[in-house]
């Protein structure tokens, strides 16, 4: 049967007996179809199969609202909706944003039986497809196969939703190892989990085994991701480019390609990749945000503003809308001296804070956004002293572990912007130096921070000097190792970490301690000191990145937060 796992037996001879006991008054299905007649016929067929609750809608925005308000056991979506949205893109966005449970059966429906359309849907993250015209029995066959496959993987979903990812991986390995029904789906889940658990060799094996059976695009992309995880960026880029040559609309590949280019410091190539992803999925809030944020840091303000405004228009109320979008828009409006637009951003931030406060979910990050936008508004309206006080208050948090590189980048942008309107700022160059000493952990991070303060070139120079100082500290420690005193090298690196809070220096200390442990008399004491610093400052590099270049969690290993104990994989 097209689009179904070949290892799952055909169930046409006992469909009704198999399916009816499972479906009842509480079974919920969502139909997303712009054609009223065909939607009504499909709803009637589902009710004949015993599904008790069938919800119908015609547009992507309606589908998003329905899914956000309630969970569904089945989602059946037309391939091309009247509002221009591709059904497959809508489903992939729902999977990506973790608004669909792993257990939800998702089918795409199309009247186009052309090979390209069928193959594109069949190889995506959906559970199957139905080609019109179809018979009730044919629809039933596909639902049963997909439902059975979900049942087989149910223990894996249980473990993922309970955050027992290692247990989930073991179960996937077992299903894969004995080639149980649905083993390719288990291999995909297992490979994604292996990447999450930092086991790229296992992930590579699983992806390669699937590729040996069939050259599916998701396995090729998975293999590229494992190459990137092991430091083989060149091979990963080549693999993705070859994949896109044959699958030019494979949007997930553009996401990974953009991330790799950004990590290599090639912002223009990353921007091209993110633009492609955003164009293929115009309804995606996350991709519009990514594209706009990257364009902002790549010094393309017109592109940035258009993309960020589109993201805000698409999903200001959506769960996956990032308030960083409003902050960068405020920065752009400040440069344009557009007081009304800047105040609109401030009101949106205030509204978001009020909503979060009512839900008991406010935090330091949105509070920082609100303070920065208020400072920009104050400066633009001539309240220079008030703007300076807010900037000083923000700078007082630099020494907090929760103050991450995104916060550093935003503060640098604010300090540079305020300099352009002569806001009185005491010791701002020392603040920039402190930020550089802490967050210049590599060339990419340094360039991101330099872009943030481009409005005031002296700050860029101060930042680059701080980066050079970090390099000198690392070189001095290396000199101690070459001189035969690795213990002194580790002690120096840890002392610098305590004063700068730089994660690169801490990593170097840990690496030196591990490599030369046999030659270090006080290895245990130094290890305890490393562990203590790691618990405080070592996670800085894993905090949110201003370029939003971190790869999205794979749909195969994410669970919606709305499903009780289930959490998104960190």
Using DSSP's 3-state secondary structure scheme, residue 130 falls into strand
Question: What is the mean pLDDT of the segment spanning 347-351?
Answer: 90
Q: What is the pLDDT of residues 410-429, one digit of tens each?
A: 999 999 999 999 998 888 89
The CA distance from 402 to 217, in Å, is 38
Question: Does residue 563 have a pLDDT over 60?
Answer: no
| Peptide bond before residue 133 is cis, with ω within 30 degrees of 0 | yes
Q: What is the pLDDT of residues 8-42, one digit of tens each?
A: 333 333 344 444 445 677 889 999 998 899 999 99
Q: What is the pLDDT of residues 49-79, one digit of tens each?
A: 888 899 999 988 888 888 877 789 899 999 8
Beta-bridged to residue 28, according to DSSP, are 53
Q: Are 220 and 194 in contact (CB under 8 A)?
A: no
What confidence score (pLDDT) does residue 25 get? 78
What confidence score (pLDDT) does residue 18 get? 46
Instruction: Look at residues 286, 348, 324 and name the one whose alpha carbon lies nearest to residue 95.
Output: 286
Query: For residue 131, which phi and psi values (nearest 5 degrees)?
Result: -100, 125
Question: Does residue 126 have a pLDDT over 50?
Answer: yes
Poorest-pLDDT segment among 15-29, 98-112, 139-153, 347-361: 15-29
Domain ranges (residues) in the chain: 12-152, 153-244, 478-542
Stronger pLDDT, 358 or 520, i.e. the higher one:
520
DSSP for 253-296, please give it: HHHHHHHHHHHTT-HHHHHHHHHHHHHH-TT-HHHHHHHHHHHH
What confidence score (pLDDT) does residue 113 get? 65
Q: What is the pLDDT of residues 500-522, one digit of tens each?
A: 999 999 999 999 999 999 999 99
Architecture of domain 153-244: Alpha Horseshoe (1.25)
Q: Has this prediction a pTM greater than 0.85?
A: no
The CA distance from 492 to 221, in Å, is 42
- The per-residue pLDDT of the chain, averaged, comes to 84
Question: What is the mean pLDDT of the segment spanning 425-441?
Answer: 93
Q: Are 291 and 277 in contact (CB under 8 A)?
A: yes
Q: Are 364 and 402 in contact (CB under 8 A)?
A: yes
Question: Does residue 322 have a pLDDT over 70?
Answer: yes
Beta-bridged to residue 131, according to DSSP, are 110
Q: Are 81 and 111 in contact (CB under 8 A)?
A: no
Query: For residue 88, which phi and psi values (nearest 5 degrees)?
Result: -65, -40
**Strand 105-110 with 74-78, pairing:** parallel
High-pLDDT (> 70) share of the chain, %: 86
| C-alpha triplet 378, 381, 387: angle, nearest 5° | 25
Q: How many residues does the chain have?
A: 570
The CA distance from 398 to 279, in Å, is 38
CATH number assigned to the domain covering 12-152:
3.40.50.2300
Residue with tokens 């589908």: 63
The CA distance from 49 to 71, in Å, is 19
Nearby residues of 446 by Cβ (< 8 Å), 6 or more positions away: 436, 440, 463, 464, 467
Most confident of 86-90, 219-223, 444-448: 219-223
User: How is residue 276 written in tokens?
Assistant: 């492609």
């Amino acid at each position: 049967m097209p689009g179904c796992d070949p290892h799952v037996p055909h169930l046409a001879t006992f469909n009704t007996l198999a399916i009816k006991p499972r479906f009842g008054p509480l079974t919920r299905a969502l139909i997303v179809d712009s054609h009223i007649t065909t939607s009504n016929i499909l709803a009637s067929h589902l009710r004949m199969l015993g599904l008790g609750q069938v919800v119908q809608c015609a547009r992507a925005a309606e589908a998003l609202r329905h899914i956000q308000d309630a969970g569904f056991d089945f989602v059946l979506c037309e391939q091309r909706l009247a509002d221009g949205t591709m059904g497959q893109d809508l489903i992939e966005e729902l999977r990506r944003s973790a608004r669909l449970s792993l257990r939800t059966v998702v089918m795409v429906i199309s009247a186009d039986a052309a090979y390209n359309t069928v193959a594109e849907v069949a190889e995506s993250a959906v559970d199957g497809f139905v080609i019109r015209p179809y018979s009730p029995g044919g629809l039933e066959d596909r639902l049963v196969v997909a439902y059975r496959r979900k049942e087989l993987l149910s223990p894996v979903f249980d473990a993922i939703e309970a955050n027992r990812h290692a247990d989930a991986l073991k179960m996937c390995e077992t299903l894969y190892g004995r080639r149980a029904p649905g083993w390719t789906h288990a291999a995909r889940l297992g490979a994604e989990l292996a990447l999450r658990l930092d086991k790229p060799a296992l992930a590579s094996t699983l992806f390669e085994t699937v590729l040996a059976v069939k050259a599916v695009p998701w396995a090729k992309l998975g293999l590229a991701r494992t190459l990137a995880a092991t430091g083989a960026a060149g091979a990963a880029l080549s693999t993705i480019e070859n994949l896109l040559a044959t699958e030019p609309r494979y949007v997930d590949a553009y996401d990974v390609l953009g991330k790799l280019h950004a990590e290599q410091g090639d912002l223009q190539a990353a921007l091209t990749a993110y633009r492609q992803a955003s164009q293929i999925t115009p309804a995606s809030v996350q991709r519009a945000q990514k594209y706009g944020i990257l364009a902002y840091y790549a010094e393309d303000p017109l592109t940035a503003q258009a993309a960020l405004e589109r993201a805000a228009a698409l999903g200001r109320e959506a769960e996956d809308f990032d308030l960083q979008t409003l902050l960068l828009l405020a920065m752009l409006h400040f440069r344009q001296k557009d007081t009304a637009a800047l105040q609109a951003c401030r009101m949106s931030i205030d509204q978001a804070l009020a909503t979060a406060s009512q839900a008991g979910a406010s935090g330091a990050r949105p509070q920082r956004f609100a303070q920065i936008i208020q400072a920009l508004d104050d400066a633009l309206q001539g309240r220079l002293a008030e703007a300076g006080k807010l900037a000083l208050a923000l700078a007082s948090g630099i020494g907090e572990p929760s103050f991450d590189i995104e916060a550093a980048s935003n503060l640098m942008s604010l300090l540079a912007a305020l300099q352009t309107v002569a806001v009185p700022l005491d010791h701002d160059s020392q603040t920039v130096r402190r930020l550089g000493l802490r967050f210049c952990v590599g060339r990419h991070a340094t360039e991101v921070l330099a872009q943030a303060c481009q409005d005031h070139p002296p700050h860029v120079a101060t930042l680059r000097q701080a980066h050079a100082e970090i390099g000198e500290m690392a070189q001095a420690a290396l000199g101690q190792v070459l001189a035969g005193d690795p213990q002194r090298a580790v002690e120096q690196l840890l002392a610098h970490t305590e004063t700068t809070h730089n994660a690169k220096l801490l990593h170097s200390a840990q690496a030196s301690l591990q490599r030369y442990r046999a030659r270090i008399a006080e290895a245990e004491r130094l290890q305890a000191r490393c562990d203590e610093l790691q618990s405080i400052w070592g996670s800085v590099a894993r905090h949110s990145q201003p370029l939003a270049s971190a790869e999205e969690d794979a749909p195969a290993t994410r669970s919606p937060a709305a499903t009780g104990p289930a959490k998104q994989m960190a």
